[in-house]
């Protein structure tokens, strides 16, 4: 793959906190390598700003390996940028060309208030997970891995749902800021396994209630969430969540 350098114009959202008005600031970045990751390019920009005595841009990151979900940036109108099934930290600058203008924003949702610049508070997701509680298991002697038979199709669907990293791209892409894809993945990966059976109904009711309490919008099944998910979580999980919630509600009414 051919390596090349480029000069770019960045329009980056700057905002002191959730109570302050934000604005776009324009920056010029030169000699950016096509082999840099998007976050490495931001590191270069921040070093440049610090050298000039200016305040660097605040953004979230941790593992930079596409597994932690913290690198949440809205890039040119798409969560995590132009590559399908890719987190921002795994997006490389060869996705752009010399002279491009790149617009970078934070997630925009009522339930994700801005902390500063490109950083948002996604602790609403943590509270939804906490509302799901725990699974009941017997502790003691280690059980053989094959002692609890699991249907292969269910196991594969569970593993696929468990791949969700809770980045919030689904919320950022949704016109209603719905968290249904995230929640459905978290409910599905336990609902499909026998280990999650005991708390299955309570989990669905409690997690949906917490999601609503956090102020996320409703799902209208446009599929934008699935299209931008870096782990390609399928929208069929939302249908499963709806079934789980309906079944749990009918049982609770009896």
Least confident of 1-10, 111-120, 169-178, 235-244: 1-10
End-to-end CA distance of the chain: 63
The domains of the chain are located at 5-105, 122-253
Report the distance separating Cα 82 and Cα 103, nearest Å: 12
**Helix (H) and strand (E) counts in the chain:** 8, 7
Residue 194: per-residue pLDDT: 87
Residue 174: per-residue pLDDT: 97
- What pLDDT digit, counting tens, does each position of 83-103 carry? 999 999 999 999 999 999 999
Q: Which fold has domain 5-105?
A: Ubiquitin-like (UB roll) (3.10.20)
Which is more confidently placed, 50 or 197?
50
Average pLDDT, the chain: 93
pLDDT at position 138 over 80? no
| 79-103 burial code (b ≥16 CB/10 A, e <16) | bbbebeebbbbbbbbbbbeeeeebe
* Helical axes 152-162 vs 180-191, angle rounded to 10°: 140
Domain covering 122-253 in this structure, CATH number: 1.10.1060.10
Cα 182 from chain centroid (whole Å): 8
Residue 159: per-residue pLDDT: 95
The pair of structure tokens assigned to 105 is 């924003």
Query: Which CA distances in Å does 133 have to 169, 180, 224?
Result: 24, 18, 29
What 3-state DSSP class applies to 250?
A: helix
pLDDT at position 52 over 70? yes
Q: Report the share of the chain in percent with pLDDT over 70.
A: 95
Query: In the beta sheet, which residues pair with residue 10?
Result: 27, 102
pLDDT at position 253 over 60? no
Mean pLDDT computed over 220-234: 96
Which is more confidently placed, 148 or 120?
120
What radius of gyration, in Å, describes the C-alpha atoms of the chain? Answer: 21
β-sheet with 101-105: strand ranges across: 23-33, 5-14, 101-105, 74-75, 78-79
Q: Quick check: 166 and 184 in contact, CB under 8 A?
A: no
Q: Quick check: 182 and 164 in contact, CB under 8 A?
A: yes
């Amino acid at each position: 793959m051919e390596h090349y350098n480029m000069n770019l114009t960045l329009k980056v959202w700057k905002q002191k906190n959730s109570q302050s008005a934000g604005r776009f600031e324009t920056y010029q970045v030169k000699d950016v390598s096509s082999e840099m990751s998007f976050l490495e390019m931001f590191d270069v920009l921040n070093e440049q700003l610090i050298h000039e005595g200016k305040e660097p841009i605040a953004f979230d990151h941790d593992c930079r390996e596409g597994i932690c979900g913290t690198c949440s940036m809205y890039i040119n109108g798409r969560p995590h940028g132009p590559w399908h099934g890719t987190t921002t930290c795994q997006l490389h600058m060869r996705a752009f060309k010399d002279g491009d203008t790149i617009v970078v924003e934070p997630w925009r949702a009522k339930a994700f208030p801005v902390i500063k610049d490109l950083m948002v508070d996604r602790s609403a997701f943590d509270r939804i997970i906490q509302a799901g509680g725990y699974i009941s298991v017997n502790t003691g002697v280690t059980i053989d891995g094959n002692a609890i038979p699991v249907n292969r199709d269910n196991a594969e669907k569970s593993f696929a749902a468990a791949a969700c990293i809770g980045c919030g791209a689904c919320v950022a892409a949704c016109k209603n800021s719905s968290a249904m894809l995230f929640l459905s993945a978290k409910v599905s990966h336990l609902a499909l396994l026998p280990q999650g059976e005991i708390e299955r109904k309570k989990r669905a009711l409690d997690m949906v209630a917490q999601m609503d309490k956090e102020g996320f919008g409703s799902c209208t099944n446009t599929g934008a969430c699935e299209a931008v998910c870096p782990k390609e979580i399928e929208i069929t999980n939302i249908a499963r969540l709806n079934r789980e919630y309906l079944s749990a509600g009918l049982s609770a009414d009896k």
